Amino acid sequence: MEEIKIFAPASVANVSCGFDVLGFCLGPVGDEMVIRKSSTQGVTISKIEGQDLPYDVKKNVAGVAAETLLTSYPIDYGFEIEIYKKIKAGSGIGSSAASAAGAVFGINELLGKPFSPHQLIAFAMEGESVASGAAHADNVSPVLLGGITLVRSINPLDVISLPTPKELTAVILHPKIELKTMHAREILKKNVPMEKAIQQWGNLGAFVSALYKEDYELLSRSLKDEIVEPMRSLLIPEFESLKNASLNAGALGFGISGSGPSVYALTKGMDKAKKVSEGIKKIISPIGIDFEIHLSNINNQGLKIISSQ
């Protein structure tokens, strides 16, 4: 195999009670990437379409992730990467994670799969750190493993795949305002009240249980964020109205996707997702902000090969 074309999906991290640990992979939204072997050693970014992103390998998340992988697997040739961005950078649905995960996934395929998906997470995390200023795994994990993942620990890296209830469906609203991950991190407090922290881990434990039991009601009761949402939601226009509209339209839960500005709702089934989408449109349309809405199943496969040669 000399060349591979892949689909690198978007993802939702910081899923309410699972701040910094929970993430899930989206279906229809994602980038395409072409990765091919090159006689020149090292990594080259040869094309970027759809976004204004750096060609400098050291400043590009895909480049950094790819180079990190190759440090662990020295070879006498290299790789050329083409990136066709469809996920907007800074949208909060894992744009940088898709690029970082896509790069290491594609290279691993071309190398004959020397690394497991779990090992690829570690490489992709390095790419992620270029974008957000901190290495985190809660977007790259669901992209590389598919489905819903929990990052138990970053160091040592320990990521767990959680089961996906069959009818679980996501609605994503991307209000097109700029909100950098690094800025959204600065708004976070260094300390949290013990009482709130206890509520948060009670909710996360219940959420994990709900996934195993396919208990949508428990899932709904536990999809709460006592810690981060009260702070970060202030950065998102009409957050409370959007949340109320979604819950009134039957959403199981609603929260910030990643570090925003995108928000997500989870529903039981696509019909409910459509209703939630209508409710959201009624709130966001009059404001005059450009926006996109995505409806998606939970993507249990994650990254996908489109073609190879």
The answer to the question of residue 287 lying near a second copy (CB under 8 A) is no
The answer to the question of residue 208 lying near a second copy (CB under 8 A) is yes
CB 240, min distance to a second copy, A: 21
Residues 151, 21: Cα–Cα separation, whole Å: 5
The answer to the question of residue 206 lying near a second copy (CB under 8 A) is yes
Burial of 247 (0-12, 13-18, 19+ CB in 10 A): middle
Q: Of 74, 112, 194, 288, which lies in the binding site for a second copy, with binding defined by CB under 8 A? A: 194
Contact pattern from residue 21 through residue 60 relative to a second copy, giving x for each residue in contact according to CB under 8 A and a dash for the rest: xx--------------------------------------
CB 203, min distance to a second copy, A: 6
Query: What is the size of the binding site for a second copy (CB under 8 A)?
Result: 38
CB 220, min distance to a second copy, A: 11
Among the listed residues 82, 128, 226, 229, the single catalytic one is 128
* Secondary structure of residue 42 in the 3-state scheme: strand
If the CB atoms of residues 74 and 190 are measured against a second copy, the closer one turns out to be 190
The answer to the question of residue 231 lying near a second copy (CB under 8 A) is no
CB 146, min distance to a second copy, A: 16
End-to-end CA separation in angstroms for the chain: 5
Q: Can you tell me which residue has the tokens 């428990």?
A: 218
Other C-beta atoms lying within 10 Å of the C-beta of residue 260: 25
Contact between residue 299 and residue 141 where contact means Cβ atoms under 8 Å apart: no
Q: Is 45 left (phi over 0), alpha (psi -120 to 50) or beta?
A: beta
Q: Which stretch binds a second copy (CB under 8 A): 24-32, 88-96, 189-197, 245-253?
A: 189-197
Q: Can you tell me which residue has the tokens 């073609």?
A: 307
Active site residue 128: yes
Task: Tell me how far CA of residue 187 lies from CA of 182, 190, 208, in angstroms.
Answer: 9, 9, 28
Q: Of 57, 135, 162, 293, which lies in the binding site for a second copy, with binding defined by CB under 8 A? A: 162
Contact between residue 179 and residue 260 where contact means Cβ atoms under 8 Å apart: yes
Query: Which positions are annotated as active-site residues?
Result: 128, 181
- List interacting residues with a second copy (CB under 8 A): 17-22, 150-153, 158, 160, 162, 188-194, 197-209, 212, 218, 221-222, 227
